[in-house]
């Protein structure tokens, strides 16, 4: 009889522990979210460049922000994310001079080899709102997992700077209205654990519709390729 009582008490204890464990896990899943903060470094490319323009040097972009993760299934590994961030981008280019002529910013073709150019780039700084559809293999207790996040990003230009240094002299133009104030494009982040590939494909032009180079519309768009790091 004593043996049966001990076995019964042991069984009740095991069941109680199991139920508490399930309750704790359920509670943990109840509030489980992923990837609240992000940081990214990218190589910034100029897409659809007019003939005569090329890039040289390393054009870098740095991006930081926070995303609200909103799971939409019971397992909480599929979610919608919407956030707010900042982005700084530098584009080094060759054989084009951004200058002001008669109070108007124009894009002039030059041969940089003739003028010993030491710097020729423009920078953009944006406030961005990313929107993502998120899929991952994570759980509430597993922090190394595969992820694929696709989405759309809208950025508002808060500052632009064009810099040029050469034997011709120095030129610096800030906040020109030649830059399109609203930038938007498609995004993709995919990877495992800490290391994730990231891409941004711009859908609209960096410069406004009135901008021309050698008589052609300057319909240049941005492509950003790099690494994305997510932080809980």
pLDDT given for residue 204 in this prediction: 96
Same domain flag for 22 and 88: no
Same domain flag for 154 and 139: yes
Same domain flag for 93 and 195: yes
Domain span at 20: 1-31
Same domain flag for 150 and 42: yes
Same domain flag for 6 and 42: no
> For the chain, where are the alpha helices, taking DSSP H only?
2-30
What span, in angstroms and rounded, lies between the C-alpha atoms of 113 and 2?
98
Same domain flag for 133 and 202: yes
Same domain flag for 41 and 102: yes
pLDDT given for residue 151 in this prediction: 96
Same domain flag for 41 and 108: yes
Weakest mean pLDDT among 23-37, 90-104, 121-135: 23-37
Chain centroid offset of residue 49 CA: 22
What span, in angstroms and rounded, lies between the C-alpha atoms of 86 and 70?
21
State the pLDDT confidence band at 2, using cuts at 50, 70 and 90. Answer: very low
Q: What is the mean pLDDT of residues 107-119?
A: 87
Structure tokens at 194: 């800490």
Same domain flag for 120 and 160: yes
Q: What is the mean pLDDT of residues 44-63?
A: 90
Number of structural domains found in the chain: 2
**Cβ atoms < 10 Å from Cβ of 222:** 25
Same domain flag for 107 and 22: no
The residue to which tokens 């910034």 are assigned? 44
Same domain flag for 13 and 39: no
Same domain flag for 142 and 217: yes
pLDDT digits over 206-228, tens only? 999 889 888 888 999 999 999 99
**Does 101 have pLDDT greater than 80?**
yes
């Amino acid at each position: 009889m004593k043996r049966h009582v001990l076995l019964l008490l042991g069984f009740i204890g095991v069941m109680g522990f199991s139920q508490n464990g399930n309750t704790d896990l359920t509670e943990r899943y109840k509030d489980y979210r992923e990837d609240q903060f992000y940081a990214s470094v990218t190589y910034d490319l100029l897409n659809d460049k007019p003939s005569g323009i090329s890039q040289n040097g390393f054009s870098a972009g740095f991006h930081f922000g926070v995303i609200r993760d909103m799971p939409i299934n019971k397992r909480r590994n599929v979610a919608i994310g919407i956030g707010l961030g900042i982005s700084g981008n530098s584009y080094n280019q060759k054989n084009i001079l951004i200058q002001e002529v008669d109070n108007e910013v124009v894009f002039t073709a030059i041969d940089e080899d003739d003028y010993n150019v030491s710097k020729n780039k423009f920078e953009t700084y944006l406030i961005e709102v990313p929107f993502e559809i998120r899929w991952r293999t994570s759980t509430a207790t597993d922090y190394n997992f595969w992820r694929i996040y696709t989405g759309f990003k809208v950025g508002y230009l808060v500052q632009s700077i064009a810099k040029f240094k050469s034997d011709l002299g120095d030129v610096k133009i800030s906040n020109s209205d030649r830059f399109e104030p609203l930038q938007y494009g498609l995004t993709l982040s995919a990877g495992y654990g800490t290391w994730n590939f990231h891409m941004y494909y711009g859908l609209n032009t960096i410069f406004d519709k009135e901008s021309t180079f050698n008589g052609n519309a300057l319909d240049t768009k941005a492509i950003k390729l790099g690494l994305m790091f997510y932080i809980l």
